[in-house]
Amino acid sequence: MSKIIVLGAGMVGRAIALDLAANHEVTSADVSESSLKLLRSAGNVRTLPLDVTDRTRLERAIAGFDLVVGAVPGFLGFETLEKVIECGKNIVDISFCPENALELDELARNRGVSAIVDMGVAPGMCHLFLGRHAATMKVETFECLVGGLPKQRKWPFAYKAPFSPVDVIEEYTRPARYLENGHLVTRPALSDAELVEFDRVGTLEAFNTDGLRTSLETLPHIPNMKEKTMRYPGHIDLVKALKKSGFFSTEPIQVGGVKVSPLEFTSKILIDEWTLAPDEEEITVMRVTVTGDEDGARKTYVYHLYDEYDVATGQSSMARTTGYACTAAAQLVLDGLFTEKGVFPGELVGQHQKCFESMLAYMEQRGIHYRKEERVDDA
């Protein structure tokens, strides 16, 4: 039994802590007492009040643990990851920070640390699939379509988030990068909207987001790579209206003699509009398509995910599909299946067949099913 500390006790962090606590000694650390209280009432997880921005306290907090799991909000992710690596602790991280985690690769190597980053559903599992096929075929095209959605559409946004609104808005404002015919293309987030059809869901709206992340650097030889986020039709226009009107600006404005950040104000409003109720049902859908040449034939592999809120456990689909990908990767490190030193996103982990198979088996055991479709295309 290993000793693990999970930094962050939000919806996904709680799912991670509870899953790991079935086989390990787990401590959950968070600045929010209310979040820690939920964990104390849910199971055998120890709790620790902790502000991760206090680097001295963070260093003391993680000292006695075999593994650190990072599940803090994105804007705290990079500095937290850096501090954990500096302390020489192995870490699996899902914070989706805006910075490039690969910049910490040399530090991790020097400290003898294995750091698996961006290991959720997307980024995460989609990159794992990409990495596995990049190791066995000449990949020509990679596409990931992914979305987390409430089962019941509620006007006006028809959207609920298991993450903080700040992280979602950051996804809506960060320029999207993708590869097209070998050229790096940068487009505004929310651009190139298209309608796509999904079984059991119907018509969804897909748009550019910056989800390719590290694969642009680790697999630059693949000529075509794109990631799109999906919402119910109509969501994009509402978000674009907010963005165009300045609601996402970080520049303070004067309101009644008080300086107010539009982004902070908007996040405060949207946290009520977008937060999932404890028993609110939602779904996660993803389709990953990889096409290329393998063994002299042109092949396409498609991975389908449709997952729902778990009524039995009361856990959201997004928390499970994201959190269990993270705990599956954590188990790789704990079991000694992944021992390389440095910073490794999903596409590099997926190049190890045993790691790939172990993660999929781990997810299956927890009811997260990725349906694989394989076909040989005409030349």
Per residue in 99-129, pLDDT (tens digit) is: 999 999 999 999 999 999 999 999 999 999 9
H or E element: which one contains 116? strand 114-116
Residues 109, 45: one domain? yes
Task: Give the CATH number, domain containing residue 221.
Answer: 3.30.360.10
So what's the pLDDT on residue 64? Answer: 93
Q: Where are the alpha helices (DSSP H) in the chain?
A: 11-20, 33-42, 55-62, 74-86, 105-111, 125-134, 165-173, 215-218, 235-244, 262-274, 317-334, 346-349, 353-365
- Strand-strand pairing, 3-7 and 67-70: parallel
Domain closes at, from 291, 308, 325: 308
Tokens of 319: 């928390």
- pLDDT value of residue 212: 95
pLDDT level of residue 372 (50, 70, 90 thresholds): very high
Residues with Cβ within 8 Å of residue 133, at least 6 apart in sequence = 139, 290, 292, 294, 301
- Summarised one tens digit per residue, pLDDT across range 279-312 is 889 999 999 999 999 999 999 999 999 999 988 8
CA 269 from chain center: how many Å?
24
- CA 261 to chain CA centroid, Å, is 27
- Per the CB < 8 A criterion, the answer to whether 28 and 18 are in contact is no
Mark whether 109 and 180 lie in a shared domain. Answer: no
pLDDT of residue 13: 94
The pLDDT tens digits of the residues spanning 253-280 come to 998 889 999 998 998 888 888 887 778 8
Residue 162 predicted with pLDDT over 70: no
Q: CA nearest 15: which of 327, 334, 333, 368?
A: 327
Neighbours of 297 (CB within 10 A): 11
Could you tell me the pLDDT band of residue 313, with boundaries at 50, 70 and 90? confident
**Is residue 378 situated within a structural domain?**
no
Percent of the residues in the chain that have a pLDDT greater than 70, as a whole number? 99
Q: What is the pLDDT of residue 42?
A: 74
Cβ-in-10-Å burial (0-12, 13-18, 19+) of 192 comes to: middle
Q: What's residue 163's pLDDT?
A: 65
| Residue 374 falls inside a structural domain | no
Residues 367 and 379: their CA atoms lie apart, in Å, by: 37
In 172-326, beta strands by DSSP E = 176-180, 183-187, 194-198, 202-208, 224-231, 253-255, 258-260, 282-294, 297-308
| Mean pLDDT (the chain, rounded) | 93
pLDDT in tens, 174-203: 899 999 999 999 999 999 999 999 999 999
> What's the whole-model pTM score?
0.93
Task: Note whether 240 and 166 are same-domain residues.
Answer: yes
Mean pLDDT on 58-65 = 96
Is the pLDDT at 379 greater than 80? The verdict is no
For residue 377, what pLDDT is reported?
80
CB 185 within 8 A of CB 178: yes
Do 199 and 299 reside in the same domain of the chain?
yes
Query: Which of these three, 292, 308, 324, is where a domain ends?
Result: 308
- The number of domains in the chain is 2
Could you read off the pLDDT of 316-352 as tens digits, one per residue?
A: 899 999 999 999 999 999 999 999 999 999 999 999 9
Residues 277 and 129 in one domain: yes
Quote the domain boundaries for residue 99: 3-120+316-369
